[in-house]
Each structure stands twice: as C-alpha cells, then as structure tokens.
Structure 1
Amino acid sequence: MIAAYLARQNAALARWRGRPRPFSWLFAPSMNAVEFALRNTIASLVALGIAFWMELGEPQWAAMTVWITAQGSRGESLSKGRWRLVGTVLGMVGAVTLVSAFPQAPWLFIPALGLWAGLCTGLATLFQNFRAYAFVLAAYTCAIIATGALNVPDHVFEIAMARGTYIFLGVVCEMVAGLVFSASLAVKARRTMKAWLNEAIGAASHLIGDVLDGAAPPEAAIRAVFSRTLKLNEQLEFTVVEVGRSDHAIACAYATIGILSKIVSRGLGMQARLSTASAISPATLTDLHEAASFIRSLPTRLKDKTMRAALRAELTQLRARFDGASRLANESSETRLRPEEIQRRSAEDRIILHGIRLILEEYTTLLLYLEADPREALAPARFRLRRVVHLHAAFHNAIRSAIAICLAGLIWEVTAWPQGASFISFIAVVVGRFATTDNTVLVSNRFFYGACLAALASIIPVFFVIPTGTGFEALIVALAPLMFIGGLAARNPATATAAGAYNTFLPALIGLDNHARIDELTWFNATIALVLGLGAGVLVFRCILPFNIHQLCVLLRRRALHGLMRICAPRRRIPAENRWIGLITQGMERVIRYAGARLTPFMELNLHGLLSVMTLGRNLLFLRMMARRPALPSELAELIAGFFTGLGPHLLRSAAREEAGFTRKIEQSIAILRDRLDTVGEETRPAYCEVLGSLMVVDHEWRNNQTWLDDRSFRRALQQARLEGV
C-alpha cells in the first residue's frame, strides 16, 4: 500500500516535471541565453552612451542597431552586420535620389517609393540569409529616411548621413562586444562544423541502416534528414565568415552535405529495389544486414580521427565484396562469395547488390570529403547543393510591397495625419522584414505582438523612471532590465520573433534625446503610429496576395514535373544531380516550414509526392548518364535511347497520353531487359543489372505515386483540401 502510494507520488512528480513551462526562458535561462542578453545589453547601452556623447539627433538608432544585428553565433552577427551596412548605404542612396527627384510632387514620390520597395523586396526573395536582409533593409531604410526628410528636402543628405552614422556605431559596438565575449573563434567554428556534420551523418546512417534491414523508415524521418542538410548548408555560410572563405575544409564541408543528400536519396532508391524484389536469397539478406551494421557504426567510429584511414580501407574491402565483376574476375579472392554462388543468384539479388554497392560508393566519397585532405585531388563544387530561385514568390513580394506603400501614402494624403510619415515607414518595415518568410501571416502576427509588448514596457521608463533623474545613469536603470529580458526572450525559439520586435522598438518608443525627455502626448502619438503601422502591415499580408499553402503545393508540383520533363527530353542538356535534389528538398522544406507540426493530409500527399519524384528523377538522370558511357554495349545503349525517344514536353500531346506512353515504355523496357539478362555474357551482365535496377525503381515510384502525378487525381485531392479548409 505504501509502495503504491509512493509510486503514485513519483508519477505525479514526473508529470509535474514534464509539464511545459512557458516562462522557463525567463526564470531558468540557459547560460548561453544569459551571456547573449548580458553582452548585447552592455553593447546597446555603450552605443547609446556614445551617441549621446556625440550629440546625435536620434541616438536610439544606435541601440536598436545592436539588437537588430545581434545573432546566436558570431558568424551570423558578423554577416548580418556587414550586410546591414551594405543595405543601409543602398537605402541612403535611394532616399537621397527619390527626395531630390520629387521634392514637391507627393504622387510622384510615393509611387516611386513603392517601386523602390517592390524592387528591393523582390530581389531579397531571390537571395538567402543576410544577403536578402541587405535588400530588405535597403527598402525600409529608404522609406524611413525619405519620409523623414519630406519637410526639409534640402537636408536629406544630412539626414541620410546621420542614419548611416547610427547604424555604423551600433554595428561596431556589437562586433566589439562579441569579440570580447568570444575567443578562438576559428577553432570553435571548425569544431562546431565538424560536430554538425557528424550529427547529420549519424542521422542519415541510421536511416540507411533501417532501409537495408528491411524496416522502412517513416517519411517524417527522411524529411527531417533532408531538412537538417538544408539548414546545415545555410549555416555553413556563417562558419565561412568565422573561418575564412578560402578555407579548404569549408568547401569540402559543403560537398559533404551534398553527398549526404545523395546518400539519403540512394536509400530511397534502395527501398524501392527491396519493395519490387519478389524473392531475396538468404546470402543477399546476410549481405544487407552486414552493410547495415557497418553503416550504423560509421558515426561512432568517425569521432576517432586515427580510425578514419582504417575505416576507408574497410569500406573499400566491403565494396569489393559486393562488386560482382571483381569477384568473377578473381576466383581465388578472399571474399566470402564464390562465382558459383553468384551464378545461382537471381536478377533481383544482383540488382539489390548493385544498389548496396552504389550506397557504399557514395560513403567512400563522403569520407574523402569529410577528411578534406588538401593532398587529394578533390572537386567540392561538383557536389555542393544549389539553391533554387523562386521568381513567382519574388514577383508576389514586389507587387505586395509596392501596393502597400501606395495605399499607406493614400491614407496619409486623405487624412493629413501628422504621423503619416511614420505610418508609411512602419508599413515599409513590415512588408520588407517578412518578404522572405513563408508563413508571413503567423510571423508578422508575432512581430506585431512583440511591438505591442514594447509599447507596454516603455510605459515604465517614460512615465515613472526617467522623470525622476536627469543623467545617463537613470536611463541605464530604466533600460537595462527591460533590454536584458528581451535578450533572454530572443534566445527562446518560441518567443524569438516577438522578442525581435520588442528589442527593436523599445528604444524608439522611449524617445531618447540629449536635451529633453519625451512627454506623454508625444509618446502617445508615436505609439499609436507604431501600432497602427505594424497592424496595417499585418493586414497587408492577409489581404494582398496572401500566402496560400495550396497554391504553393501546386507550384512545387508544377516545377517538379517540369524538371522531370526536362530530364526525360533526350535533346535537352542533362541537369546536374545536385540541382535536382536541391530543387525537391528545398520545396519540401518550404512546406514543412509553413506547416510546422500541423501537417494536413494534402501536405502529406505533396511531401510524399516530392520524395517519390526525386527518386524517380534521379534514376532517370542515372540512365541518361549511363547511355553516354563509351564501354556500354551497343544494344543496351540503343534500348536506353529508345526509352527516352519521344519523351519530354510536346505541344500536341495531352497529359493523359504522355502518362500512358511513359507507362508503356517502362513495361516494355523492363520486359526486354529481363529476357536478355539470362542470355548476355558475364562481362556485360552488371551493366544490364544496373539499367534494370534503375528502371524497376522508376516503375515502382511511378505506379505508387499516381495520386500526385496524375492531374485528375491531384485536382480532386486539391478540391477536397480546399473544401475542408486544410
């Protein structure tokens, strides 16, 4: 009885400990969060003090720049600071140009400002990371400077230079604080990079091991590995800033990520090979389990640098074991399988063994680039993942930004609101700031909530603390605790977006000045302009070309099928495999980022379809590349050429006819290869097995993905999703 009571108490305590605590980031922050908040609070106050000492007109911009530039890693902060300076200069040039061109013509100035904002946000969509941020900053910096100089157009150059001074001061203070708080930056960056790569290799190897053991991994796990590789590919840009662009290890790290994506894609193909095999011999099953065990052990063994040479040698031996040609050529070798045993194996066994060998070849290349030996003749650019440009999204962002600026100008013109210039500036901030995000409605809402919290928090220093003192010390007492809390919130993923708005707008709402403090009426007018401007920006994303997940899925499908048609067109140039994988994985990442943990059946259908078409396209690419081999038997080359003849886009053929013709060609080619496989010589049989294996994977993915590939089936699924509102 006592034991049962204690068990219930322990269970209740465990449930209490496991409950989510929404404010744990504030009451029990990590040391990393404390260091981040303390570092940037000090840097922002120092920047503010220097701005006061220099008697700059709007010193709050120096403190705001520190918080805008501050990021989780030094590489991110340095990169953002550098591109912030570039964006500020572009915005200054744009503002001076617009005000000089249209000083007394508001309805020439406002459309021109809208066109500038549209151009910048459209270009931002075509870039990634903080290069995109530079264009975003150019958009709203131009709006802030230009609208602030409308009353005094003769002084637009001085206003622009003052803004540049604030930005430069804030960036320098943040960089100095970061250097003080961090040491051995390059060494830590390389160590972190290697840890990231080992984690990614571990996740991918576990997945490949499951495939080889016959335990098909869930698609969520596959998508998670692809998402990890994409995120790591983006994060390496900041490691480049910390280590140096010329570092050979960085280039090889990019290649390692691309090879890792290929390995996971090979695993999907292997899963299809195993699914289509009617019977697998016990010897082949043993080989599968042996390869799975070796691949699973790789991440642990890679941690020991002294083991890498031995690991590569062992991998080479394992590849030779599965290489049928080498075993037939050397009958007295020490491999476990003998030629007479190979003769008894079925075509399915040969295809599976070839699939294992392909995966092991990719792992051999992976280890080569992971080691990054400068003495090796490596070509990292060949394997690096390439980003896909989204022209459709860029056009939408450009149109949305231009319309939003023009509507804000119309409101200002009609109402003659004294805060109308600030209203336009805040709308420009919102439409520019979130032009490069996918779920713009959700993110802009959080940003708006953070600005509202900044307005509430500013009441304490404006109304109670600052009036009691006249020195900079009183300002430190008022601002430091609020800034520190904002820094802690910025390191919590759930509150990071809101904290970004809070930290950005808090110094602006306090109304800092050398010779006067903000009065209640001015604070109220500024706060109303901020809240209404940001709120209007949120409405812009809801009303003007709003983001639609169904439209995104249709666009991604159209782009993937167009890429598939290009692969099949024999007269077209063969696309690079890393570009094909990058196109599909980046599309999946966009859907996952939008959905988060709330994946609907229609999103699942599209993610499954994209995974399937990636495997299908990669095997078609393999067939086209194989047809170019000089040593390929002529009859096999003719068969591959006949398979691709007539495929590709054609204006006079319907989609249904294209699908029927593709299905018929797959069936005919597989039947011909199966008939010839028993009659060809042993020297050409491996090539026949390679082609047959790829065609079997293509057939499997084509037949099992018709709901997504077939136009009518996809339209029905789309209509059902729209009716259900999911």
Structure 2
Amino acid sequence: MRAMRLPSFDAVSMVRLRPSPDVWFALRTTAAALLALAIALLCSMEDPKWAAMTVFIVAQADRGMSVVKARNRIVGTLVGASMAVVLMGLFGQAPPLFMIALALWLGACTGMASVVSAFRSYGVVLAGYTAVIVGMSSTAHPQQVFDIAVARATEILLGIAVEGVMASIFSPASPRLALERRLEAYLRQGSALAARLLRGEATGTQIHGFFASALALNDAVDYAAARSREIARLGGRLRHISYLMLAQLLAAQSCRVGLDGCAPSRALRGVHDLLVQRAEGRSPGEDALATTLGRLDRHHRRLRRLCMQRRDAFDRAFALEHARTIVHDLQASQQEQAAFEQGQPSRRRFATRRHRDRYEAAYNGVRAFLAMGAASLFWVYSGWSAGAGMVTIVGVVCALYATRPDPVSGSIGFLKGAGLAALAAFVCIVWLLPWVEDFAGLAAVLAPFLILAGLAMRRPSTAALGASGSIFFIDLVGPLNGTNTGVVQLFNGTLTLLLGIGIGVLMFTVLLPSGAERYLRRLRRSVDADLAAIALHPRRMQRRAWFGLMADRMRARLGLAAALPEATLQRDLAALLGALGMGSDALDLARTDGMPGLRVRAVLRRLARGDLPGVAEQAMRAARHHAGLAGDRQDAQAQAHWRTAMVLWDMALCAREYLQAGAEDSVQAQVPLTPSVTLQS
C-alpha cells in the first residue's frame, strides 16, 4: 500500500512569506470562507453556512476558472430558485404532483447538462438541484418558499462575491505569463511525441494524453479570456497552435505508416532532429527549417520519377509528403507563438465542437428522475423527519455526477469525503466548540480543518475528497448566531448525508448503469455517422473543428481507461486516429481546386454509405490513377494530381487502420446513424 504523501513546504519560500501555490490556495480559500461566514453572521442571515460553503464550491486555483464557475453558479442559482417558487405556486396544494414536477425538472436539467459544453454544464446542473434544495426545504411551509429562495440566493451570492474579491486581490495580475509557460510546455510535448511517432516508440496513453492536453489548452484560453480582454484578442493564436500541433501529430503518424518499418532516409532523420531540438526547448531557426524543406523537396522529386515502377518508392514519397507537412506545421506554430508573445491580435475565429451522446443524456435524465422518485417514496412511506434532506442529497448526487466519465468512482469519492467531514465535525462539536465564545475562537477551530481540505483539493488524486469534505464539514458544523449544533442533530445530519449519497451511488450501479463498452459502441457509431455526413456535406465542417471533435472523443475515451483493458485502449486509439485521418482527407478532397473528379467522387460516395472496405480499395486505385496523371511533371495541373493522389493514399491507409482496429460498425445497425453534432462552418 502506497503511503500518502503530505503537501511539501518550501522552507525558503515560507521564510520569505511566499508559500507554495497549494498552500497559498488553501490559505486564501479558507480566509475567504471565514470572511463570508463572518459577514453572513453579522447580517443575521437565515443559514450562514451557505456563504462559506459556496466559497469552497467555486474556488479554483486559476482565477479565470473561478470567474467562469461563479458566473454559471449565479445563473444556475437564480434559475433554480425561481423554478422552485414557480413549481410550489403551481403544485403546492398537491405534494405528489409537486414531487413529480421537481423530479422532472431535475431530470431535464441533468439530461441537458450532458449535451451542452463543459462551461454551461455546471450551470444547467445547478439550476436542477438548486430547485430541489429550495423546494425540499419548503415542503413543511410552502407559503415561505419565496423567502427561502431569496435567502439561499443571497447567501450564495455573498459567497461568490467574497471569493471573487479575495481571488482578485491575491491572484496574479495577468494570466498571459502563465499561458506562455503552458504553451511552451505544450509545444515541447507535441514535438517530443511526434519524434517518438517517427521512431515508432509512442504509446497509446501518450497520444491520448496529448489530445487531452490540446483541449486543456483551449479551455485555459477560454478561462483566461473570461478575466482578460488581452487574452480574448490573442486567444485565436493559441487555438490555432493547438490545431497545428494536432495536425503535425497526425502527419507524423502517417509518415511512420508510409515508412512501413523501413529505415528513414537522411531527409527524414533531419525532420526528426528538428522535432527533438524543439522538444528540448530550442526553437529551430528559419535557415534550418528551409534547409530541411529543400532536402525533402529534392528527395521527393527523385522518388516521384520511380513511383510508377516501384511500390516502395511510392510509400517513401508518401512519407516525405507528410514530413513536409510536419516541418510546415512546426514553422507555422513557431510563428504563431512569436506573434502571441509580441501581443499581435488574431482575427481567426474557431468553431469548437464537442462530442454529444444523446442516448447517454437520455439515460442520465431518466435516472435522475427515477432516483429522486424512489427517494421520495422512501421518505413518504418511512415517515422519517429528515427525509427531505435525504431526497435533496440523492438529487444532488445523481445530477452532479451523471456527466462524469465514471460516475460511480466519483460519487464514492464524494461519500468518503462526507465520512471524513462527519468525523471532523464530531471532533469540533463534542470537544472544541463548547469552549468557543466568539467568532475568533470559531475561526481558530474551523481553519485547520478547512486548510487541510484546501490542500487536498489541489491534488488530482484527492480533489473530490477535499471538495466534498470541506463543503460537508461546514454543513454539519452549521455555525449560527448564539447556538451550536448538538450531537443528536449531528448524528441525524450525518445519517441523512451518508444515506443520501449511498442511495445515489446505488442508483448509478443498479438503475440504468453507465456501461463503458456500450458507451464506446455508441461513440464508434457517432464517428461513422460523422464521416458519412462529411462525405455528403463537406462544406458544413471545418477541418480544425473536426480535429477538435475527435480530440474531445479521445478525451472521453481516456476517461474510461480504468474501466477497460489496455489492449482495448490501444485498439480504440488506432480506430480514432484512422477516423480522424479519413475525415481530414475527405475534407481535403472535397475542396481540391479543379477536383474532385469521378474517381474521387466515387470514394466519397462509398464513405457516405459506410462502405469502408470499398473506401480503402477504391482510394488506392484512384491514388495510383492520379499519380500516373501527375508523372514527374512539375506544372500546376500535375501538382494538383499528385496532391490528390497523396490524400487518397492516406485515406486508404486510414480506412485500413480503422478496419483492422475492429471499430467499424455496420451502417445497418439498429441505432440509426445520426451525426453527433450539427455540421456547420
């Protein structure tokens, strides 16, 4: 059993009053929570703990993330509280109808959160379970629902405001330096991975991780743009670099396939050396890039003369074509990086695409509805006085964790955090709080526990534990003016909390469980449907949007890595890379000047029908045909034929890779093939 590592403290930084980022985050968040609690107590708010809990809910290490989360929480809180008032006004005299309407609202919000972007998902989920919180708190006194809604909204808005002020004071002035460091790390990671691909040493986990890093960079740009107009103007350059590095990675994969185990030529070794140099943090100069491109062009022209006689010459020419793409993308990414560091605004607008599984969204919505209904029936027939709180917790868990890749593991972490919070609250209530007489003493008692929770929130392995522990610790202690929570009240609250979370976990495992294999089958059918849609309507999808969509699918697949064996991970990676290449090639073919001809249109028709074996066969024949038309001539028409031949050859290889991975589903599957996103530019 691995020993738990405690947070490290830099002695020099502590002496200079500059704690590490983890310690600084914990101290800042704890101070903000205690300040919000003090203001709520001073203003005699109905339930001051909500102000302190909100601080830990919205707190993020990155100021931009805090801003985005706070905005969504404000909108979700106001919408959810308003809906609770409306539903109580409509069905307040008919409790069964009120519970059904509340469960329907929660299910609708949970399902919608599964298909909207990550930024809006939190707000939609919050609108669902805020209505449950306010509505269930009002069941004993329906006439007070408006007062309860206003009280909850006021306390939550106070917590958001205090956290925002503290984060603004103690966060760095500009996120630009942090983005520059992140961009450099991303470029080095991408160059190192491309070099490993050329050597045939890259693993599936590394490739998956890089696609996740590309999406994380885009998310970081969006977060930074929320707090900085400067980043909003420059963000297009970072998104373009993210796309260029993904294209470079795909080119490196195709280059390696073209070599087919053969030793790389001197020109290809030069490309590899450039990538290694960039991975070490040394940007290749323009002269070195131009020299490498010149060597590739000369070697490429020699091979083209031999292509019609020797198959290996065609494969090597194909590899060199993609090697040129690698160098061009490397050159363009360096230019974009320099422009970003010089503060040159970008006019590019990027249409982002995310994978949407509508079947999973329907499962999540129905599960949340049925779970809340089952919890409500348990409350009604048991007659438990604290049953309303249990129903609330079930609704929160089923809504909050439905959108996670592995909801069972996440909700179990939530349960563990609640258990630790109950132990800490017991220590405080029984032994420490009876000696407290003022707020200073209360703060001294709560601060150590909250600081430890804040430190846990900064580590990925304990983040869920720290977040739930901090929130439920404040909830169970329940500080109020002039009174302390009693032991009996603590035990009742702990039982309500643990039983509610436990029922939520049970619902994820018994009621419409989220099966990893079933999810992957639907993901593959979505890929097939999108490939068919691209072949039919290529101008409705931008190439960089296709890269973003497939990167999001790889990130979703990576979230299921623990649930499936490594062999399945490698097979799915090969399938997704093959699909990414086919879609990219189809977009290139449809937009070739003077093309597509009859043979190209025949390939696209087969792709639209889902006939991938036919795509591989037809694309290879068409590639040889266009290569023969190009010959060794260098005029514009010959160059167009040659480029078309290379794209067709790449499509054939990608189709074979996709088929060999076993990822093809028949178009006559029971579930109809519909694109996962609306294809539009």
Check whether TM > 0.5: yes
Corresponding residue of 1:68: 57
C-alpha distance 709-537 of structure 1, shift in aligned 2 (>3 A)? closer
* Higher mean C-alpha deviation, range 593-602 or range 581-590: 593-602
Q: Is the CA contact 2:352–2:545 (under 8 Å) kept in the aligned structure 1?
A: yes
Matches within 5 A, 1:444-593: 444-569=411-536, 573=539, 575-593=541-559
Could you say what secondary structure the match of 1:481 adopts? helix
1:121 is matched with which residue: 110, 113, 136?
A: 110
Corresponding residue of 2:289: 315
Which residue identity is paired with 2:153?
A: G
Corresponding residue of 2:147: 158
User: May I ask how many residue pairs the two structures share in their alignment?
Assistant: 654
Corresponding residue of 2:258: 273
Deviation at 1:144, TM superposition (A): 0.9
Corresponding residue of 2:278: 298
Q: Quick one: distance in 1 between partners of 2:60 and 2:627?
A: 58
Q: TM-score, normalised by structure 1?
A: 0.83
Q: CA RMSD in A?
A: 3.0
Deviation at 1:162, TM superposition (A): 0.8
Deviation at 1:94, TM superposition (A): 0.9
Corresponding residue of 2:187: 201
Q: Is the CA contact 2:224–2:231 (under 8 Å) kept in the aligned structure 1?
A: no
C-alpha distance 562-147 of structure 1, shift in aligned 2 (>3 A)? same
Q: Is the CA contact 1:509–1:526 (under 8 Å) kept in the aligned structure 2?
A: yes
Corresponding residue of 1:435: 402
1:303-334 alpha-carbon deviations (Å, 9 max, x no partner): 7xxx9xxx35653564455446xxxxxxxxxx
1:343-396 alpha-carbon deviations (Å, 9 max, x no partner): 5784444433322222223233323332336998954225x6432333222222
Corresponding residue of 2:245: 260
Q: Is the CA contact 1:198–1:299 (under 8 Å) kept in the aligned structure 2?
A: no
Deviation at 1:439, TM superposition (A): 0.4
Matches within 5 A, 1:375-454: 379-382=347-350, 385-454=352-421
* Higher mean C-alpha deviation, range 125-134 or range 189-198: 125-134
Corresponding residue of 1:21: 3
Deviation at 1:620, TM superposition (A): 2.8
Q: Is the CA contact 1:92–1:141 (under 8 Å) kept in the aligned structure 2?
A: yes
Corresponding residue of 1:700: 653
* Higher mean C-alpha deviation, range 679-688 or range 58-67: 679-688
Which residue identity is paired with 2:81?
A: M
Which residue identity is paired with 2:589?
A: L
C-alpha distance 598-572 of structure 1, shift in aligned 2 (>3 A)? closer
Corresponding residue of 2:213: 228
Q: Is the CA contact 1:26–1:489 (under 8 Å) kept in the aligned structure 2?
A: no
Could you say what secondary structure the match of 1:545 adopts? coil
Q: Quick one: distance in 2 between partners of 1:667 and 1:366?
A: 32
* Higher mean C-alpha deviation, range 110-119 or range 603-612: 603-612
Q: Quick one: distance in 2 between partners of 1:149 and 1:275?
A: 69
5+ residue gaps in structure 2?
A: 12-18, 308-312, 670-681
1:445-504 alpha-carbon deviations (Å, 9 max, x no partner): 000110011111111111111122332233223211111111111112211101111101
1:111-169 alpha-carbon deviations (Å, 9 max, x no partner): 11011111222222223344211111111111111111122222211111111111111
Q: Quick one: distance in 2 between partners of 1:246 and 1:226?
A: 22
Could you say what secondary structure the match of 1:381 adopts? coil
Q: Is the CA contact 1:291–1:356 (under 8 Å) kept in the aligned structure 2?
A: yes
1:552-589 alpha-carbon deviations (Å, 9 max, x no partner): 110111111112222333x6645322232223221221
Corresponding residue of 1:690: 643
C-alpha distance 343-670 of structure 1, shift in aligned 2 (>3 A)? closer
Q: TM-score, normalised by structure 2?
A: 0.88
Q: Quick one: distance in 2 between partners of 1:401 and 1:341?
A: 62
Is 1:54 paired with 2:7? no
Q: Quick one: distance in 2 between partners of 1:679 and 1:72?
A: 58
Q: Quick one: distance in 1 between partners of 2:383 and 2:223?
A: 46
* Higher mean C-alpha deviation, range 429-438 or range 499-508: 429-438
Q: Is the CA contact 2:305–2:631 (under 8 Å) kept in the aligned structure 1?
A: no
Deviation at 1:191, TM superposition (A): 0.9
1:285 is matched with which residue: 243, 261, 265?
A: 265
Q: Quick one: distance in 2 between partners of 1:101 and 1:511?
A: 32
Which residue identity is paired with 2:30?
A: T
Q: Quick one: distance in 1 between partners of 2:464 and 2:632?
A: 65
C-alpha distance 26-418 of structure 1, shift in aligned 2 (>3 A)? farther
Q: Quick one: distance in 1 between partners of 2:326 and 2:461?
A: 39
Report percent identity of matched pairs. 27
Q: Quick one: distance in 1 between partners of 2:302 and 2:652?
A: 31
5+ residue gaps in structure 1?
A: 1-18, 325-336, 650-654, 716-726
Deviation at 1:59, TM superposition (A): 0.9
2:597 is matched with which residue: 600, 622, 637?
A: 637
Matches within 5 A, 1:131-142: 131-142=120-131
Deviation at 1:180, TM superposition (A): 3.0
Deviation at 1:548, TM superposition (A): 0.9
Q: Quick one: distance in 1 between partners of 2:305 and 2:570?
A: 43
Give the greater-gyration-radius structure (CA). Answer: 1
Corresponding residue of 2:582: 616
Is 1:86 paired with 2:78? no
Deviation at 1:516, TM superposition (A): 2.1
Deviation at 1:646, TM superposition (A): 5.2
Q: Is the CA contact 2:576–2:658 (under 8 Å) kept in the aligned structure 1?
A: no
Q: Is the CA contact 1:272–1:701 (under 8 Å) kept in the aligned structure 2?
A: no
